[in-house]
Structure 1
Amino acid sequence: MTATGADARPVTELTRALVFAAEAHANQRRKGAAQEPYVNHLIEVLDLVARATAGHDMDVMLAALLHDAIEDTGVTADALAEGFGPAVAAMVLENSDDMSLPKEERKRHRIAAMARKSYGARLVKTADVISNIRAVVLSAPAGWGPERKLAYLDDCRHLIDAGRGTSAMLETIFDETAAEAERAIRDGGPMTVEGHLAAVHELEAAIGQPVHLVYLANTGCREITRDDVEKLAALAQRSFPSCTIERADAVYEGRLRPILTARIRSDSSAAVVAFAQQLCVAFGERFVGIEVAGRYIRVYSDDTA
């Protein structure tokens, strides 16, 4: 049986992109309490785009799977163009933020650029935002309370409104998702996703006074010095009664690197999350790992979902 429709390229083109994306994002997880593999998000975006195009636009479906490759993994636009064609690379590039800019400036640029994006890039971005809104409600990043979630939802509405007229189907799903997300956030209850009740994942609250483990991940793979140890200790003693700091080695993104770990006694898991966020800023780390109530989670310096 042969493929039919506006784009008859074989499904193997799509599976090849899925393998590429899975390898590129192999060490990446979503930022919420459930810590889902990042590829789950890419597949969800692909599913939404495939439904919106009835599976007839292979380039857009490929761009959906690869939409975070440049921004998050270091894959270049040239590599995507060589592997999947210039049209796919162009759409991915359109949806890639300049991470050297401050967060608020990136947000403004994202909204201003939405109407100028190509049709395919707007499709992918709309699907991406739908997936992200679901994630913020069902498995929010550490430290995100109702006000932060509602502010993020407002930003998403401004972004999609800037590109209206792209896909009636996706925009309807977005509107329904945003309304349901707002209701769930305000009520503190469950959320439905396209008519189906979805489970909410929460970071467990600490019981008693457990000892939490904090991993200073050394994402830049630099030398760890005595000054780093003293800096970590000084930051810890501002908030916690005790802290044991140890040097260790860890494998991240296929590289063995020196790290610092801190064992912290605290009644408050929220305080540990806040401390990890402080460490991200103080040490210039992309993320800091923590164990709270026996569960591991990454806390990001730039925790946009």
Structure 2
Amino acid sequence: MPDGLEEMEGRPLTAISVTGLHKSYGGLEVLRGVNLKVRRGEFYALMGQNGSGKTTLISILTCNSRPTAGTASVQGHDAVNESYEVKRRIGYVPQENFSCSALTGRENLIFFARLAGYPRDEAEALASELSEQMELQDYSGRRVSEYSGGMRKRLEVATALLPGADVLFLDEPTTGLDPSARKDFLRMLKEVNSNGVTVFMVTHIGEDAEAASRVGFMDEGRIMLEGDPEELKDGSGLRNVVEVETPRKGEDVEGVLMAFSSERELQGTDEGYRVFCEEPEEALPSIVRALDGIGCQAGRLEIRAPSLEDVFFKVTRKPLRSLLR
């Protein structure tokens, strides 16, 4: 039986299958032999820097772009030769908002349902059902221009979940959302996934990927490592991370902190740096004294367990978010 087409109850066990996928734009190779399998009902998060190839991959899987070489299938249908069948079975939420801000939430849902071919009465029933599922029923009569960023993103997920969507694709869905809205949105995604929808999300935010059941790291057009979040962290060899808040950044500050890093690398943050230490409790007083010695008084220092962003940094030697100077 062809790879990715094994079935149970008439539906493929493999929701997404990618083999040897390449994509080039002119002389620039963006995807370099990607291999990927996502099981039916899985919540898969693909992490990577901007420009790593994540959006190019999702554009091929949603039939918006063609690969240069290799194959990609969704729900057992080829993304190039059976694009109509693929599109019937997926929902897609791009990074940019697509709902109409001049219409109400309910009017948007009815419009997209009608566009998908549903009669008026069925479209109205679907709008009510999806509004309730996305916890928007109390706001469905308001114009989308009055929605918060999180509410608008939930509305667009509802649009993508019109009946028949077995796989939901999302491209950087939490960009621009505040921490509270991100948390609510990810909780909602997990609920969608628990109802049997396969979720495939690309992100450059490690905290978002923590919500997934399996995570892949993409760098320079290749998937470097995969696993469930806890497996990736436990297998990384990282034990402790020290968050150091500094009033400034510079080569002298980095030189001081590098001396305490077991990985001989630093990761930038908005407030300062992350230092990977074997014995952080013992290192903290020395870090403070060393920074004082160059006239840089440390602010908050915090010891915490490694995150997916830390593991990504160790694997690729690149920060997900470029914050160093």
Common topology (TM > 0.5): no
Which has more helix, going by share of residues? Answer: 1
Larger Rg: 2
Higher relative contact order (Cα pairs below 8 Å, separated by 6+ residues) = 2
Q: TM-score, normalised by structure 1?
A: 0.33
